[in-house]
Chains A and B, each alone.
Chain A
Amino acid sequence: MELSEHIKTANVEDVTLRRPFHPALRGTLCVTSHHLLFSDRKDEASWQLLILLKNIDAIEKSVENLFGYPRAVGSSGTITIKCKDLLVLQLEIPGMEECLNIASSIEALSSLESVTEMYPFFYRPSHLTLNGPWGLSSTEQYYKQTERLWDRWRVSTVNSDYSVCPSYPSAVIVPREVDDDKLIHSARFRQGGRFPVLSYCHHRNGMVIMRSSQPLTGANKKRCKEDELLLQAVIDGSELGYIIDLRSAQQAQQARMTGGGFESKSFYSHWKRIHRHHERGKVVQESLIKLVEACSDPSHSVDRWLSKLENSKWLSHVHSALSTAGLVVECVERDGHSVLVHGSEGTDNTLLVSSLAQLILDPASRTVTGFLCLLEREWIQAGHPFQQRCAHSAYSHARLKQECPIFLLLLDCVWQVWRQFPLALEFSEALLLRLAQEVYASNYGTFLCNSEQERCAAGVKENTHCLFQSLLRPDIEEQYLNPLYEPTDLAIWPSVHPQSLQLWTGLFLRWTEYAQNMEEAREEVWSIVKEHHEQAGPDRTNNTLSTHCDTLTSFENLMDELTIL
C-alpha cells in the first residue's frame, strides 16, 4: 500500500491550534506522508509548524455534536496530539468527518513498520549529498587512531558477515593472542553471540573495559574453555579483573534456569564478580510513563508530586546507572584493574554503564566530536536495538513490546554529570535535548534499525544522511557548545547522593514556562562569555592599540630630536 493511500483528507482550512503558553492560532492543516503541517493564515510572515508524523506518540480525538445536528451547523472535533518529545498540541478541526479522517491518517502513518518507508529515506536537503562517507568513524579507524591498543589488541573481522553475532558490527577489537576460532567458540557460549569485546582502554594505565552478554552456563554449569582463555588474555598476567554483573546475584542465579548464567569463580579464577541490580525493559519504560504523567499536571500538591516522583523510580534508575558507572571507574582508574561489564543481553544497561564510565574517565569523550563518536561506537555500532526500544515514548496507548528508554536514561545521566561539572563537557544541554528528540523521530538515518546488519540490509548508509555528521558542521555545532568549557584531564567523579541528583527539568519540563526562564539564563551566560571573547579575543585590539601608542611615543621622541636640530 502506498503511503499516500492512508491520507483521506489532506487539507483542512480553519483549524485552531493550541500550544502550551502560546495564544491559539487559526490556519490550515495539511497531512503528508511523513509530516503534519500547520500554517498560519496570515500571508505575510506566515508561521509554520512542521511535525514529523513519527514524532507523534499518541492521538486522542473527541468529536462534538455526534448526534442531533446536521453536519453543516458547525460540528467539529478536537484532536490532541502527544509527541514523543513530550510536546502536547490540540487541534480543533471543523467538520466531524475531516477530523476523523485526519486522526486515522495520523494513526496509520505515525506507526510505520518498514524502515525504508520512513522519512530519512526521503529527506534530501540541498546542502547535503549522499555520496560521502557515512558516520564519524569505524572500528578500524578507531583502532588506528588509538596507539595504546596496538601492542596487545587487534581488530578481528570474524563477524564480517554478521554470522557470529548478528548484533555486533563487522569488526571488533579483541586481545591479540586470541584467534578468530576461539572467538567463534566464545560467541556460542554467550547470549546472542555477544562475546567479550573491548569497549575502552584507559589512557593512563592501559586497563580496559570489556563488554559482552551473559554466559550460557545453564542449569548444569556448562563451561567454555575458549571464553575463559579470552578473558584470561584480557587481564594478561595482572592479578585480578572485575566482572560487573548488572543483575542481582539472585537474578543471575535464576537466569541459569533459562539457559543463561554467570561466570563461576572456579573457572574464572582471576576474575572477581560484583552484582549490581539494574532495572530493565518494561520497568524502565513504565518509570518514564509515570514520570511524564507526574510532570504534566501542575495542579498537584507538593506532597503528591514528591510521592509521584518517588513512585516513578526514574531518579532511582539514574542513581543506579551513575553508581555502577562510578564503580567501574573506581576499578579502572583508582585500583588499576580491568573490567568486564554485562547484564543479560548486553545491549542495554551494559552499554549505558560502559559509555558513562568512559565519559567519566576519558577527557576525549567529553568533546562534542568525542561524545558523538562514543555514542556511535557504544550504541549504534554496538547494536543497541533503537528501533525496538524507541518505537513509543511516554504517551502511547499501544501495548508495550520492547520499548525501553535506556538511551534517554543515558542522556539524563550525562546531564547530571554536566550539572556537577559545568565546565568539563564541551557540549551543552542543547545537544542532549536534540539527541533525545532525534532518537525518537529524525530526518536522519542514524538511529534507524536495531543493528549494523539491519542497517546494511536496508541500505541506510547509502540512502540516508548521518545525524552526527550534520551536527558537527561548524555552523550547527556552535549551538551545542558549552560556553564555559575548560578541558580537564582528570576523571570527573560525579556524586551519586540522592541530594545531588535532580530532575532533568530541561527535558521533562521542556514545554512549561519554567523552562523559559532557564533559557533566559542560558542566553545570559552566552552573552557574558561572548563579551569576554570580544574583549580578550585574540588580544588583537589591545595589541594594536598599545603598539599604536608606542608608535606615537617614538614619533614624539623624533620630534624632540627635530626640535633640537
Chain B
Amino acid sequence: QVGMLYLTATHTIFVGKGSEDRSELWVLHSLVCNVVKHKASQSGYPLLIHCKNFQVMQFIISQESDSFVYLIQFSKLYCFSFNPNVDKAEREHSWDFLDLKAEYSRMGLPNKLWHVTPINREYRVCDTYPADLFVPQSVTLPVIIGSSKFRSRGRFPTLSYYCKENHATICRSSQPLSGFSARCLEDEQMLQAIMKSNPGSRFMYVVDTRPKLNAMANRAAGKGYENEDNYCNIKFQFIGIENIHVMRNSQQKLIEVSALRSPSMGEFLMGLENSDWLRHIKSIMEAGIFISKAVAEEGVSVLVHCSDGWDRTAQVCSVASVLLDPYYRTLKGLMVLIEKDWVSFGHKFSHRCGHLDGEAKEVSPVIDQFLDCLWQLMEQFPCYFEYNEKFLISIHNHIYSCHYGNFICNSQKERKDLCIKEKTHSIWPHLWENKLDFMNPLFKPDQSQNQGLLRPRTAPYCFKYWRRLYNRFDRELHPRQSELDCLMTVKEETQQLEEDLALCEQKLAVLDKERAKTLYMQKGVLESKQALWSLPLDTSLANTPQDYIGGFIGGAPNVFTLQQGERESAELCLFGDKPKSSDADNSDQESGVADFSSHSSGEESLPSEDSVKDPDSDETGPNRA
C-alpha cells in the first residue's frame, strides 16, 4: 500500500492512496511500544513499529528522518488532550458511573463485623492504598498503624472481597517485614481479628503467591513471610507465581511466537511451550481456585500477599472473585472489579504498562495475565459470562492507549494530585454505551445451580493460546464467520419480534374492549336492522378474516411482515461474506477521528502543524494490518 504518513501531536496517521476508498490507519502515540529503524534498503528506509496492543506495522520511507526517535519520548499523554464533544457536567458524571461504595454495600458492607476506617483518608498511613478501607470492627487504630509499619510500603491487611453467605473474606496486604525472626504484635492481632470476623471458622489461610525461594530470599532483606508459630490459627501456603520480570520475558517470547510468519505447526507449539506463558496463566488460575474454594467450600477467610501486594495479589484476588461471584461475570461487575482490585488498590498502571518513558524493568503484563485468565474461563464456561472476548480486548486496548484517564498513574493518591478526574474522561461509560457489542449471546443469567461458584478444570489442555488478542490484527488468522455475531443478531430479532407480538396483542385487547362497548351501545339499533345487515355479530366471527378481505383489508400488513422477513435473511447472508464484526478497534478509531476535528477547532496546537512529514513519502503499507 502506498500513501502518506502524518505525525500529529497525538497520532501517527497513515493515509493510503487507494484507488477508490481512502484507507486510514490511526495509531495513538501512547500505544507505540517501540520503533525500530532498519538499515536502508533499495526501496527506502524501513521502519518497524510495535504497538502495545500487539499491532505491528512496517513502513518504508523514501527519505531518511529522525522524527520517529522523539516519538517515544512523549510525556504528555493523550487523555489530557482527548476532548470529545461533551460538556463538563457530562464528563464529571462519567466519573460517577462506578461507585465503589455501592459495590461494598452490594457485598453487604459495612456490617457488624467490618467497617470503613478513616485512617487512610489523607493517604498518610499508606500512600498506595485507597482512602476508604475496610477492616474488622474490633481493630483499633493503633493496631492498624502498628501492622502497617510491619508491612512493606505500609500495605496492611485489608478487605478485598466479602462473602455475604458465610462471612468468609479475601483480604490483601504486602509481605511482612519479618526478616529472620522479627515479629509484630499488632500485625498478629490484625490477623487474629480478621480470622475472628469470620465467626464460622477456626483458622484462616495466609497465601503467599510467590515461589518459596523468592520469599526466603526476601528474608535477608528484612522482609519475608509469616511464621506460623507467631500467628495463631493460620495455615500458611506458598503458591509459586513468578515475578514481574519473568512474566515480562515470557510475554516477550509469546509475542515473538505470535508474530512468526507462517511457522510450521511444530515451531509454533515449541515456541508456545518455550514462552512458558500458559504455565504462568495456569499458576495464577490455580491460586484463584485455591482461594475461591477456601472461601466458598470451607468458609475460611484468606489473606493474600506477594511482595508489595499490587501485582500477583491483584491478579489472584480478582480471579478468585470472578470464580466466586457471578456478579463479576457481568459487564458492570467486571468494570467494578477492575476499578476496585486494580485501580483503587494501586496497581502501578503507569509503570507496568510503560505509559511514560521510564524504567523498562518496571514494565510487566500483569493485567494482561488477568484478562488472559478471564478468557480461559470464558472458553471453559461459554454460558457463564455476560461479556464476550471483545470486551476484554477493548479493555486491554484502553489500558494501554491512555485515551481515558482511568489507567493513568500508579495510585489513587497520584491520580488525585494530578486531578485526573478534572482533566480526563472515564472509560467505563464509553464501554457501557457500546455494551451491545460486548454481550455474550450464550449467557445464562441464572447460575444458582452451583451457588455461583465456578470450578474450572486445570488440566493442561484447558489452557489455550489467545489468538484474538495476540494476533488481533492478523485478520486472515481468524474465523471468517462469527458465530457470536450471528447469534447476537438472531437474539435481537427474536426480541424485536416478541415486542411486535406483544404490541399486537395489546392493540387487539384495546380494540376488543372498544368493540364490546360499541356493541353494547348499538345493540338496539342493530336488532332493528338485522334484516338489512346480515352480518352476524358473534365474536367468533372476528377470527375468520377471509370473509372480509375483499372489502376492507388491503395487503398492507402482510406485505410489511414479509419484508421484515426478507430483510432478516438478507442480513444473515451479509454476515457470511463480510464481517462487519469483530473489529473492536473501530470504535477506537472513530473516536480518534471525532477528537481530531474538535482539536482543530479548539485550543492548543493544530495537529497538522508540526506534523506533516514527508509529503511524498513512499510506502509499502502495513502488511500485517
Contacts and interface: CB of A to CB of B under 8 A. Distances in A.
Interface string B305-331: 000000000000000000000000000
A76 to B, nearest CB: 31
Contact of B279 (A301, A521, A539, A542): A301
Interface stretch (B28-36, B198-206, B259-267, B294-302): B259-267
Dominant SS among interface residues on chain B? helix
A542 B477 contact: no
B602 interface: no
A497 B572 CA distance: 27
A316 B500 CA distance: 52
Given A295-B461, A309-B269, A517 B380 contact: yes
A512 B459 CA distance: 10
B17 interface: no
A499 interface: yes
Contacts of A502: 464
A512 B553 CA distance: 60
Nearest to A518: B382
Contact of A499 (B471, B511, B562, B572): B471
A486 interface: yes
A539 B576 contact: no
Contacts of B465: 499
Nearest to A540: B561
A481 interface: no
Dominant SS among interface residues on chain A? helix
B457 A514 contact: yes
B416 to A, nearest CB: 41
A555 interface: yes
A302 B441 contact: no
Contacts of A316: 264-266
A223 interface: no
A304 B278 CA distance: 11
A550 B467 CA distance: 54
A488 B574 CA distance: 10
Nearest to B511: A552
Interface residues of B, number: 88
B501 interface: yes
Interface stretch (B178-186, B352-360, B393-401, B480-488): B480-488
Contact count band on A: 35 or more
A528 B487 contact: yes
Given A550-B553, A559-B522, A484 B487 contact: yes
A500 interface: yes
B585 interface: no
B433 interface: no
Interface in B477-531: 477-483, 486-487, 490-491, 493-494, 497-498, 500-501, 504-505, 507-508, 511-512, 514-515, 518-519, 522, 525-526, 529
Contact of A555 (B483, B505, B542): B542
A541 B501 contact: yes
Given A552-B542, A553-B511, A304 B460 contact: yes
B477 A559 contact: no
B80 interface: no
A421 B486 CA distance: 12
Interface string A273-300: 0000000000000000000000100111
Given A486-B575, A513-B457, A528-B490, A559 B518 contact: yes
Contacts of A14: none
Interface string B549-578: 001110001101110110010001101110
B459 A298 contact: yes
B548 interface: yes
Contacts of B508: 545, 548-549, 552
Contacts of A495: 476-478
B463 interface: yes
Interface in A512-536: 512-514, 517-518, 520-521, 524-525, 528-529, 531-532, 535-536
B52 to A, nearest CB: 20
A412 to B, nearest CB: 13
A114 interface: no
Nearest to A558: B535
B258 interface: yes
Contact of B483 (A315, A422, A500): A422
B323 to A, nearest CB: 14
B462 interface: yes
B276 A310 contact: no
Contacts of A304: 460
Given A421-B481, A563-B518, 6 more contacts: A486-B573, A545-B501, A548-B542, A552-B508, A552-B512, A562-B522
9 contacts: A422-B481, A484-B486, A497-B476, A498-B264, A528-B442, A528-B494, A536-B565, A553-B511, A563-B525
Interface of B: 258, 262-270, 272-273, 276, 278-279, 282, 380-383, 441-442, 444, 457, 459-465, 467, 471, 474, 476-483, 486-487, 490-491, 493-494, 497-498, 500-501, 504-505, 507-508, 511-512, 514-515, 518-519, 522, 525-526, 529, 533, 535, 542-543, 545, 548, 551-553, 557-558, 560-562, 564-565, 568, 572-573, 575-577
Q: Report, nearest first, the 7 A-B pairs whose CB atoms are least far apart.
A: A305-B460, A298-B459, A498-B268, A554-B552, A310-B269, A521-B382, A306-B273
